[in-house]
């Protein structure tokens, strides 16, 4: 498959760049005007990338736990009265710009990685929660009825039938959150979070396009790879997907 | 009149329709029947050139359809399909007016025609004109679909499984309506169906297709009593043959002078209905409204090949 | 039936009602506002009674009562809505009154800003409004009226001077002209890029639907654009268009520039293309096969099928794309403030630089309000269109 080969190549180039960025200096030099350094060296790019990923991973993991838990809760029979509210809050919440959430988190947590983590966590809740709701409420009625008819307890139905069937949809929500978080995290550097945004902002401040491009391309490539990884996982876990047939 | 001459359609090395020739007389109904993949829909779609024939030609009233631009040809031919194919964003009236508008009729004429058709299909215009398709029942959608096909008074109407999405009760009355309206307007009709009962109920002639070949093209009685190939026989189903045969004739065709007891049967009821009534009420003869009787003995004879009343 | 008696005596609780009451009561317990002697120094909190005295106690009691009435499950939804709307108004009025009471007369330096108590009360009542609305299930006309009414009330409250002593409004008064300019700039960025994306994206979507060979390439390319972080894309546009303006004759005269709004506009336009193009393709592909077949079969030309059947049927999906793009662009336009593109983002980043949170609020609150109103209005339009055509026909 062409797509897979291209992704593999992208991953390899990214790894090479992060491990030995100075090798790529000739490539980026034309973008750095007036003899400015073509490669960002104030902090190790690999270190920033790992920080960036760790921040995103922590936020998305926390969002996933909370959002999936809430999603399961409000779809239980006794909690139906909360469901319309949950839907409204989700759709309204998604109109909040992530940058605004980030800016509003600053007074609560001060500068640094804290507000970024909080903003990414809050913003990440919504897609995951929405997809958990969609996944759990969109199951074919015949399947849930059959599970009931066979005498499964509510907990057994949840673990053995509902969650496995909703998993691909939930994962799609996690993917969306992760990709948004990856991009939004760069803005975190405007409030002093350690992310690859630091490279881009340094480029903006010193009019060094080489920095802007290397920061942007690293984040973009990471987003592509993570996106592709999730899609692959979703396909494997989908009912009737490759893992089922083999 | 349409004459189909040696029509063939190939997709790559797959032949979907193979050298089919048939003629449908003016005002007649030809029912094409076969299993899915038999080529019947492709054959139909070659008549209005939704599918371009690989070889052969179609003549409508002597004109080769290939000589007319395809979209102009189609505006003269009614077309109705399974699941009605109504435009969901247009009202009933706008849907029906599609072809008249394409032909540039003036607004007053279009409106009159729409109302006329709605009346014809028992959909009161005041109530239905401005509804959207999703506000109609399945049967109503189907009737609007056929009205739309008939809007510009085509001489020829093509239908592809038009009743496929209807439940059995509505389907029977829709077939009866179609038959009535077709006779009234004198439209030539080619209908594709996978349902042999529907073909029997509607077709003046039935074309049986299998694997791209037209196996037999004959009146229903001939298909029943003299199937051309084992496949045709299997398609009809041997157990249903006598009943199909009875359903092709009216009580009036079989009535003889005499009297009988009990409630009478209508002269235009089918022989199949008469037999059912005999069996159910345990009578050996039924009085016919307006005089005469139909006997169980006569019905029995009519249910066997060669024994029925004369061909219509 | 002995068990029935205690069950009847017990009041069934509304879970959302309990949640709102908990949030709201916590808000009442926390400081409503924060007082600072000037813009930068640390402040001290003041509760509602602390700021307003006797009136404060009455307002706090009324708010608490409104919250508690929502706790029993059998409180009717319309009463809930009325109480929640009243709660929002009282909370806002209390903010304005507290700011007026705490600010020494004539003092233009002291700052009174909304604090945790205000935000929690606001959140509790806003959630209660949303919950009550979801329960009542209003007709479209009523929902439009409510949205328009809400916008009008906000405008009225802001125009009345009720909130003039609140810090955000102080920031606003100091920057009245700049605010108007940046608001105009923000709208230009969000709506201008949307308009350009529709003008380019819709025909492009139709084209790649007609020519499926191009589909994977175009959508793949637009997908890659989406993965570039906004900060970087905005940053790349600056030197790119600076170079274009300097080297291509006539480009600068046509408005192309490496500074100001132009690079931001192009970046937002690029982000907007994917939703528009892909929704157009999805919309065209989702046209019922029967409708398309019938259109051709009845004698429409290719252009007529496209113009009379296919494109009108994509309207709900295209509107959904407009909703996505507009809300996204209103948010992303904030980034333009970082690269000198203007818009509300300039307040946000200025405020962050100066650790002046009131200034940050002056940038974020209008952005959120704009995104909310646009999102709700377009959601209503989409739902109305879906309802009129019947889903799935």
Q: How confident is the model at residue C281 (pLDDT cuts 50, 70, 90)?
A: very high
Residues C134, C19: Cα–Cα separation, whole Å = 16
Domain span at A130: 42-241
Residues C16, C128: Cα–Cα separation, whole Å = 8
**pLDDT above 70 as % of chain C:** 95
A50 found inside a domain: yes
Q: Is C345 on the interface with A (CB under 8 A)?
A: yes
**Average pLDDT for residues C244-267, to the nearest whole number?**
83
* pLDDT given at position C48: 86
A16 found inside a domain: no
Q: What is the CATH number of the domain that holds A127?
A: 1.10.3720.10
Rounded to two decimals, the ipTM of the complex is: 0.84
**Measured between CA atoms, how close is B76 to chain C, in angstroms?**
8
Strands C111-114 and C33-36: antiparallel
A11 found inside a domain: no
**Average pLDDT for residues C106-112, to the nearest whole number?**
81
A19 found inside a domain: no
A14 found inside a domain: no
A195 — phi, psi (to 5°)? -140, 180
**Chains A–C, number of C-beta pairs less than 8 Å apart:** 146
**Measured between CA atoms, how close is A103 to chain C, in angstroms?**
7
Asked if chain B contacts chain A via 3 or more Cβ pairs within 8 Å, the reply is: no
Q: What is the pLDDT of residues B89-137, one digit of tens each?
A: 899 999 999 999 999 999 999 999 999 999 988 899 999 999 999 899 8
**Measured between CA atoms, how close is B224 to chain C, in angstroms?**
33
Q: How confident is the model at residue A244 (pLDDT cuts 50, 70, 90)?
A: very low
**Average pLDDT for residues C243-261, to the nearest whole number?**
81
**Measured between CA atoms, how close is B77 to chain C, in angstroms?**
7
A153 found inside a domain: yes
> How many structural domains comprise chain A?
1
Residues C310, C205: Cα–Cα separation, whole Å = 12
**Average pLDDT for residues B247-251, to the nearest whole number?**
85
Q: What is the pLDDT of residues A192-219, one digit of tens each?
A: 888 999 999 888 888 888 888 889 999 9
C380 — phi, psi (to 5°)? -60, -45
- Which residues does chain C have within 8 Å of residue B158's beta carbon, measured at their own beta carbons? 297
A9 found inside a domain: no
Residues B189, B184: Cα–Cα separation, whole Å = 13
Domains and CATH numbers, chain C: 2-166 (no CATH), 176-392 (1.10.3720.10)
Q: How confident is the model at residue C1 (pLDDT cuts 50, 70, 90)?
A: very low
Taking CA atoms, what residue in A is nearest to C363? A100
Residues B182, B152: Cα–Cα separation, whole Å = 14
Greater confidence (B291 vs A62) lies with A62
**Average pLDDT for residues A5-28, to the nearest whole number?**
86
Whether B206 has a pLDDT exceeding 90, the answer reads yes
Q: Mutate which of C296, C299, C300, C393 to test chain B, going by most B C-beta atoms within 10 A?
A: C299
Six-digit token string for B250: 């009216």
A1 found inside a domain: no
Whether B159 has a pLDDT exceeding 70, the answer reads yes
Mean pLDDT estimate for chain A: 85
Six-digit token string for A9: 């190549």
| CB pair distance less than 8 Å for C304 and B145 | no
Strands (E), A149-218: none
| Most distant pair of Cα atoms in chain A: their distance | 75
Contacts of C22 (CB under 8 A, 6+ apart): none
Q: What is the pLDDT of residues C162-217, one digit of tens each?
A: 888 888 898 898 899 999 999 999 999 999 999 999 999 999 999 999 898 999 89
Strands B156-160 and B188-193: parallel
- Which residues does chain A have within 8 Å of residue C352's beta carbon, measured at their own beta carbons? 103, 106, 190-191
Whether A1 has a pLDDT exceeding 70, the answer reads no
* pLDDT given at position A178: 93
pTM (predicted TM-score): 0.83
Residue holding tokens 């608490």?
C64
Contacts of C381 (CB under 8 A, 6+ apart): C319
């Amino acid at each position: 498959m062409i797509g897979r080969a291209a992704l593999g190549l992208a991953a390899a180039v990214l790894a090479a760049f992060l491990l030995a960025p100075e090798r790529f200096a000739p490539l980026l030099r034309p973008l750095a005007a007036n003899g400015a350094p073509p490669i960002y060296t104030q902090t190790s790019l690999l270190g920033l990338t790992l920080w960036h990923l760790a921040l995103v991973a922590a936020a998305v993991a926390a969002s996933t736990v909370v959002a999936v838990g809430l999603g399961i809760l409000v779809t239980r029979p006794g909690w139906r009265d909360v469901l319309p509210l949950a839907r409204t809050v989700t759709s309204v919440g998604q109109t909040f710009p992530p940058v605004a959430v980030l800016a509003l988190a600053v007074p609560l947590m001060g500068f640094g990685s804290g507000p970024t983590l909080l903003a990414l966590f809050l913003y990440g809740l919504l897609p995951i929660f929405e997809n958990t709701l969609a996944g759990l409420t969109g199951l074919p009625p015949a399947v849930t009825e059959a599970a009931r008819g066979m005498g499964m307890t509510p907990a057994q139905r949840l673990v053995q039938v509902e969650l496995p069937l909703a998993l691909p949809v939930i994962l799609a929500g996690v993917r969306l959150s992760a990709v948004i978080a990856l991009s939004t995290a760069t803005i975190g550097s405007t409030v002093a979070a350690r992310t690859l945004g630091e490279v881009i902002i340094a480029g903006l401040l010193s009019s060094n396009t080489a920095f802007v491009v290397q920061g942007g391309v690293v984040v973009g490539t990471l987003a592509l790879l993570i996106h592709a990884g999730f899609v692959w996982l979703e396909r494997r876990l989908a009912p009737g997907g490759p893992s089922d047939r083999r | 009149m349409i004459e189909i001459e040696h029509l063939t359609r190939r997709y790559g090395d797959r032949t979907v329709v193979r050298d089919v020739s048939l003629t449908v007389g003016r005002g007649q109904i030809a029912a094409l029947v076969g299993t899915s993949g038999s080529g019947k829909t492709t054959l139909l779609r070659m008549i209005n050139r939704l599918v371009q024939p690989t070889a052969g030609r179609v003549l409508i009233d002597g004109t080769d359809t290939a000589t007319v631009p395809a979209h102009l040809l189609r505006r003269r031919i009614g077309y109705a399909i399974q699941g009605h194919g109504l435009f969901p964003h247009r009202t009933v009236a706008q849907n029906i007016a599609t072809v008249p508008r394409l032909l540039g009729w003036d607004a007053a004429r279009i409106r009159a025609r729409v109302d006329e058709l709605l009346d014809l299909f028992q959909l009161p215009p005041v109530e239905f004109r401005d509804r959207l398709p999703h506000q109609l029942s399945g049967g109503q959608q189907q009737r609007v679909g056929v009205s739309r096909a008939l809007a510009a008074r085509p001489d020829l109407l093509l239908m592809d499984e038009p009743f496929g999405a209807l439940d059995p009760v509505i389907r029977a009355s829709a077939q009866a309506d179609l038959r009535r309206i077709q006779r009234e307007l004198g439209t030539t009709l080619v209908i594709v169906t996978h349902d042999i009962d529907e073909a029997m109920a509607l077709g003046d002639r039935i074309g049986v297709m299998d694997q791209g070949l037209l196996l037999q093209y004959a009146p229903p009685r001939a298909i029943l009593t003299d199937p051309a190939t084992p496949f045709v026989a299997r398609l009809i189903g041997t157990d249903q043959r006598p009943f199909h045969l009875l359903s092709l004739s009216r009580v009036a065709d079989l009535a003889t002078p005499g009297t009988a007891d009990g409630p009478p049967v209508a002269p235009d009821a089918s022989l199949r209905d008469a037999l059912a009534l005999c069996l159910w009420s345990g009578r050996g003869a039924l009085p016919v409204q307006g005089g005469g009787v139909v006997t169980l003995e006569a019905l029995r004879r009519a249910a066997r090949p060669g024994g029925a009343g004369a061909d219509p | 039936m002995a068990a029935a008696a205690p069950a009847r005596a017990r009041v069934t609780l509304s879970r959302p009602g309990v949640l709102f009451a908990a949030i709201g009561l916590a808000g009442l317990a926390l400081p409503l506002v924060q007082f600072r002697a000037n813009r930068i120094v640390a402040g001290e909190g003041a509760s509602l009674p602390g700021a307003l005295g006797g009136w404060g106690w009455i307002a706090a009691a009324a708010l608490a009562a409104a919250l508690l009435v929502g706790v029993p499950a059998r409180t009717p939804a319309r009463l809930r809505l009325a109480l929640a709307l009243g709660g929002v108004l009282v909370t806002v009025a209390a903010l304005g009154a507290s700011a007026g009471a705490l600010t020494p007369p004539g003092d233009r330096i002291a700052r009174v800003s909304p604090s945790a108590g205000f935000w929690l009360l606001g959140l509790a009542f806003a959630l209660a409004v949303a919950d009550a609305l979801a329960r009542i299930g209003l007709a479209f006309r009523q929902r439009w009226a409510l949205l328009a009414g809400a916008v009008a009330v906000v405008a009225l409250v802001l125009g009345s001077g009720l909130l003039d002593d609140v810090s955000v409004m102080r920031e606003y008064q100091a920057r009245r002209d700049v605010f108007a300019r940046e608001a105009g700039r923000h709208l230009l960025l969000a709506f201008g890029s949307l308009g350009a994306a529709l003008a380019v994206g819709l025909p492009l979507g139709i084209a790649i639907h007609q020519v499926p060979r191009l589909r994977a390439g175009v959508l793949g390319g637009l997908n890659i654009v989406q993965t570039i972080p906004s900060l970087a894309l905005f940053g790349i546009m600056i030197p790119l268009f600076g170079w274009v303006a300097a080297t291509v004759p006539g480009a600068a005269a046509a408005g192309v520039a490496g500074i100001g709004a132009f690079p931001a506009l192009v970046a937002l336009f690029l982000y907007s293309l994917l939703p528009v193009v892909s929704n157009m393709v999805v919309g065209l592909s989702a046209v019922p096969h029967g409708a398309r077949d019938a259109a051709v079969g009845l004698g429409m030309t290719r252009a007529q099928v496209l113009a009379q059947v296919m494109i009108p049927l994509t309207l709900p999906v295209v509107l959904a794309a407009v909703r996505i793009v507009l809300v996204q662009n209103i948010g992303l336009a904030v980034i333009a403030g970082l690269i000198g593109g203007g818009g509300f983002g300039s307040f946000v980043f200025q405020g962050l630089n100066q650790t002046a949170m009131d200034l940050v609020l002056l940038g974020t609150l209008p952005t959120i309000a704009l995104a909310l109103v646009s999102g709700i209005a377009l959601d209503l339009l989409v739902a109305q269109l879906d309802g009129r055509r019947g889903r799935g026909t």
